[in-house]
Amino acid sequence: MTKKRTIAGMPVFPIGLGCMGLSHGYGPAVPPDQAESLLLGALDAGVTLFDTAALYGFGHNEELVGRVLAPHRSRFFLASKCGIFRDNGQRRIDGRPETLRRTCEDSLRRLRTDVIDLYYLHRWDKSVPIEDSVGALADMVQAGKVRHIGLSEVSANTLRRAHAIHPIAAVQSEYSLWVRNVEIAVLQACRDLDIALVAFSPLGRAFLADGLPPLDALDEHDLRRRMPRFQPEALRHNLALLDPLRRLARERDCTPGQLALAWLLHQGEHVIPIPGTTRLSHLRENLAAADLSLDDASCVELAACFHRARVAGDRYGPATQAEIDTEQFSAS
């Protein structure tokens, strides 16, 4: 039996489901019947951590999760996020306490629940002290609207400041074979403080699953079109990195995506990947990675294949990079 992992002492399946792609980020929302089939299929397959946010589809994703999963509320751990939302048609980061309180009420309504198990500050609004934003979230815990608090894309220093105000249950950051910034400090800080590290985009936005469509086939609104490492010249370089991943996967009779997820799970008992997908076949493939064991030597080899010096292109452009607080590797 697959050993579960924990968030704030609550057991969850080692691999969760990132719901964003059903509504946001990679093109139009998937058809309602397909989305419903995927969410219910995940629940039936044993997934217990479902991750959404007010940002995803500007409320559409929370409404979807609420409509489909609310009848099964006791069977899963619900995570959502505040602090980024749509204001007059524009995406805006706002961590003021009064804004967070309002968006929490909106999320509860869309999710059709009385309480959110894990409520993240999606991005730290650097114009607002982290202590003020976390204080507002702590008030939501006191009021019974939220059970646990999380942070997304923060540095170890910001995490420790926040944790001094109220216990932080989870930090969500991008973490995969080819995005390793959390290894600078946050991964260890989470281990020290008994905080879960929830890894989003653990398959490199389909790249590590060897399933990236041709760039000219991507929807015009697909966020990868604007990401430096997916630009034509960088991508041509990066595609060569998949050769050893494919070879190692063949040797272990698994897929490249399963190997990438297994590597992440090996980085610590507090690491919980949340790959997203729109297909049940991909979902089942991802979940099977929880039963794939790797030895230390294999993990070292995989890490070396995707050392940051070998990856071309930043993960974000300058404007998006300025919004996050995660530590950056120094130029070398």
Give the CATH number for residue 289. Answer: 3.20.20.100
Residue 331 has pLDDT above 80, yes or no: no
Range 255-262 average pLDDT: 98
The answer to whether position 321 is within a domain reads: no
Instruction: Give the pLDDT band (50/70/90) at residue 332.
Output: low
Instruction: Give the pLDDT band (50/70/90) at residue 3.
Output: confident
Q: How far apart are CA 177 and CA 197, in angstroms?
A: 15
Residue 1: its pLDDT value, please? Answer: 52
What three-state secondary structure class fits 191?
A: helix
Tell me what percent of the residues of the chain surpass a pLDDT of 90: 94
Residue 4 is encoded by which pair of tokens?
A: 């579960």
The answer to whether position 230 is within a domain reads: no
C-beta separation of 208 from 241 below 8 A: no
Q: How far apart are CA 21 and CA 42, in angstroms?
A: 14
Instruction: Give the pLDDT band (50/70/90) at residue 90.
Output: confident
The partner residues of 273 in beta bridges, in order of sequence, read 199
Residue 248 has pLDDT above 80, yes or no: yes
Please tell me what DSSP assigns to residue 22.
G
Q: How far apart are CA 324 and CA 322, in angstroms?
A: 6
161-198 per-position pLDDT tens digit: 999 999 999 999 999 999 999 999 999 999 999 999 99
The whole domain housing 147 covers 5-210+255-294
Instruction: Give the pLDDT band (50/70/90) at residue 86.
Output: confident
Give the mean pLDDT of the chain. 96
Distances in whole angstroms, Cα of residue 172 to Cα of each of 4, 51, 207: 18, 10, 20
Alpha carbon of residue 1 to chain centroid: 25
Alpha carbon of residue 310 to chain centroid: 24
Range 71-83 average pLDDT: 97
The answer to whether position 319 is within a domain reads: no
Q: Of 56, 119, 120, 316, which residue is the catalytic one? A: 56
Instruction: Give the pLDDT band (50/70/90) at residue 91.
Output: confident
Alpha carbons within 13 angstroms on the beta-carbon side of residue 129 total 5
DSSP string, 41-87: HHHHTT--EEE--STGGGGHHHHHHHHHHGGGGGGSEEEEEESEEEE
The answer to whether position 32 is within a domain reads: yes
The answer to whether position 225 is within a domain reads: no
267-288 per-position pLDDT tens digit: 999 999 999 999 999 999 999 9
Q: Does the annotation mark 56 as catalytic?
A: yes
127-137 per-position pLDDT tens digit: 999 999 999 99
The number of folded domains in the chain is: 1
What three-state secondary structure class fits 200?
A: strand
Among candidate residues 51, 46, 48, the one with its CA nearest the CA of residue 1:
46
Neighbours of 7 (CB within 10 A): 24
The answer to whether position 326 is within a domain reads: no
Alpha-carbon Rg of the chain, whole angstroms?
19
Instruction: Give the pLDDT band (50/70/90) at residue 19.
Output: very high
Alpha carbon of residue 291 to chain centroid: 21
Q: First-to-last CA distance in the chain?
A: 44
Range 93-121 average pLDDT: 97
Residue 87: its pLDDT value, please? Answer: 77
Range 18-43 average pLDDT: 96
The answer to whether position 305 is within a domain reads: no
Residue 240: its pLDDT value, please? Answer: 95
The answer to whether position 130 is within a domain reads: yes
Host H or E run for residue 24 = none
Among candidate residues 274, 265, 271, the one with its CA nearest the CA of residue 78:
274
